[in-house]
Structure 1
Amino acid sequence: MYSLDFNEPLVKGFSWEHPDLILTHEKVVEERCASLINYLESLKPYVIVPSILVCDKTNVIIDGHHRYFALKKLGFEKIPTIKLNYSNHRIITDLNEQPIKKEVVIQHAVNKNLLEPKSTFHHIVDVSSEPQPIILLSSLAKLEF
């Protein structure tokens, strides 16, 4: 089992959000989204998915664009989200030497000027190891068709 080690409060809470209240900053790979939809439909009568990680102040998706679009296309009226303190220094947008700044991510979402798919790959920097994919902060949610 893996666990993250950090002292600051990163997770602000869980909530069910209407899809129209969630902002995206990236396009998705349509084939990947279609495959995810097919997979989720195969799990009927309910699905269990990692929650979408969003900024607690703006509702911009930090991680989970494909899950978000798949759930929206499947008609779910509430999307499971984990609210994160996106301004925290332990959250980074990518492992590249020159990652996209968080302010730019938010700006693209607010302006509806979507970045290309996988422009960001958010990670969490814990105090005891290398950066880890931020999806590890997600909780699992059960959705019923």
Structure 2
Amino acid sequence: MRAETGLGSLPCCSELFRNPVLASLVNPQRDVICCADSYPVVLVPLEILHPHEEVDPARLSELRSDILSTGLIRKPVLVESETLVILDGHHRVQVLKRLGKRLVPALLISYNDPCVRVESWRSDWVVTKDLVLRAGLVGPLLPHKTSRHILCIDVPFVDVPLSALG
């Protein structure tokens, strides 16, 4: 499932080294699962990620049951590569933390990339990239289902077993 190739043959790995924290923690030969277009999907430590939204307890419980029944994380969370703010996947991150896991598969993408757009699920909110980053880095967290991130690529299925997440 993980890429068994060196950094030189994975063009998407350059995104890893824009952030010195990632560069110090992620080994491309060990931790890169795949590339989604030009973006890496990498196993990253949960403790370095910054949420920008709260989670819904009912959804958290439902997702926990789904994850435990399959034993898999089907899709990576979406993480801004420079700030490590979680853009999508807050519930998956919380489930993994509560299960005592250390890692999560994450698709890393820069918010400066024109491939990323943000909208709001809520009619009473105007959501901008700056608002998302501010909520993730300094708070307060936004209510759950406030931001909706739209990419110009499809997020791949990765089907990472829970046992691979520490």
The normalised TM-score by structure 2 is 0.67
What is residue 76 of structure 2 aligned with on the other side? 51
Gaps of at least 5 residues in structure 2 are: 1-35
2:116 pairs, out of 64, 75, 91, with 91
1:35-73 CA-to-partner distances (Å, cap 9, x unmatched) read: 111121122xx3142001100101111111111111111
What is residue 60 of structure 2 aligned with on the other side? 33
**1:24 offset after TM fit, Å?**
0.3
Write the letter of the residue equivalent to 2:46: P
Cα distance in 1, alignment partners of residues 138 and 120 from structure 2: 25
Is 1:143 equivalent to 2:161 in the alignment?
yes
What is residue 3 of structure 1 aligned with on the other side? none
Superposition pairs of residues 3-14 of structure 1, within 5 angstroms: 11-14=38-41
Superposition pairs of residues 104-143 of structure 1, within 5 angstroms: 104-124=131-151, 126=152, 136-143=154-161
**1:29 offset after TM fit, Å?**
0.5
Is 1:17 equivalent to 2:44 in the alignment?
yes
What is residue 130 of structure 1 aligned with on the other side? none
**SS of the residue 1:16 aligns to:** strand
Cα distance in 2, alignment partners of residues 53 and 23 from structure 1: 12
The normalised TM-score by structure 1 is 0.76
Cα distance in 1, alignment partners of residues 115 and 42 from structure 2: 22
Tell me if structure 2 keeps the 8 A contact 1:94–1:121. yes
Cα distance in 2, alignment partners of residues 107 and 49 from structure 1: 29
Tell me if structure 2 keeps the 8 A contact 1:93–1:99. no
Higher percent of residues as helix = 2
Cα distance in 1, alignment partners of residues 130 and 37 from structure 2: 18
Q: How many pairs does the alignment contain?
A: 126
Higher relative contact order at CA 8 Å, sep ≥6: structure 1 or structure 2? Answer: 1
1:56-112 CA-to-partner distances (Å, cap 9, x unmatched) read: 101111111111111111111111111012212331111679741101111111113
Tell me if structure 2 keeps the 8 A contact 1:24–1:65. yes
